[in-house]
Amino acid sequence: MKRTTKIIGNVLYGVVFTTLLLMIVMVISSRASGGEPQLFGYQFKTVLSGSMEPTFKTGSLIVVEEVKNAKSLKENDVITFRQDEKKVVTHRIIQVVKQGDQVSYQTKGDNNEDADMNQVLPQNIVAKYTGLTIPFVGYFLNFASSPLGTGLLLIIPGLLLLGYAAWTIRSAIKELEEKTKTVNEPENKQSIIS
């Protein structure tokens, strides 16, 4: 039982610590680049509106990848594009519009009644949705990108590491005490009998 508890504790600690380290890397990379967090060539975008529900909900984190050839996209692909200089939107392609050798895309949010007013040009496409959504993590990532969140994100793993070290040391001392008691008890019984 103790061994099982120890294994579960180690695995849980490893998962939490690894997740926090990945979050730290993402926040630091986004701060360094001045843009969205990136990891292994993928970008992480926080869903800020409900326009794509139920595909992904507000506060979710979606994973997107850079589009190498924007003219190769097809209907039903979910793309992230620049709507203007400051606003980036992620919507579904509902129609590929070809005029000669020129291509543009009509997009629409899954939860919107109407299609987007302007068609999207290939040069405005930032990325394509990979199909991976992590619910509610977007809220955490937004908080972690703030100065307070970044500070906490750097302090919490250290505190967890110290706590885990203290727990491990305490467990090791307790085991040693139990082994010492077990070893000393038979000697005491023999000395009483003789």
Contacts of residue 178, Cβ cutoff 8 Å, sequence gap at least 6 = none
Enter the DSSP assignment of 121.
Answer: P
Q: Is the dihedral of CA 178, 179, 182, 183 positive or negative?
A: negative
Q: Look up 49 and say whether it is catalytic.
A: yes
In terms of Cβ atoms closer than 10 Å to its own Cβ (0-12, 13-18, 19+), residue 18 is exposed
Q: How would you list the strands of the sheet with 78-82, edge to edge?
A: 38-39, 42-46, 61-66, 125-134, 78-82, 88-99, 102-108
Query: What does the block give as tokens for 168?
Result: 């491990």
Return the sign of the alpha-carbon dihedral for residues 41, 46, 52, 54.
positive
Are the C-beta atoms of residues 46 and 142 closer than 8 Å to each other? yes
Neighbour count for residue 94 (Cβ, 10 Å): 14
Annotated catalytic residue within 49, 60, 146, 194:
49
Q: Which residues are catalytic?
A: 49
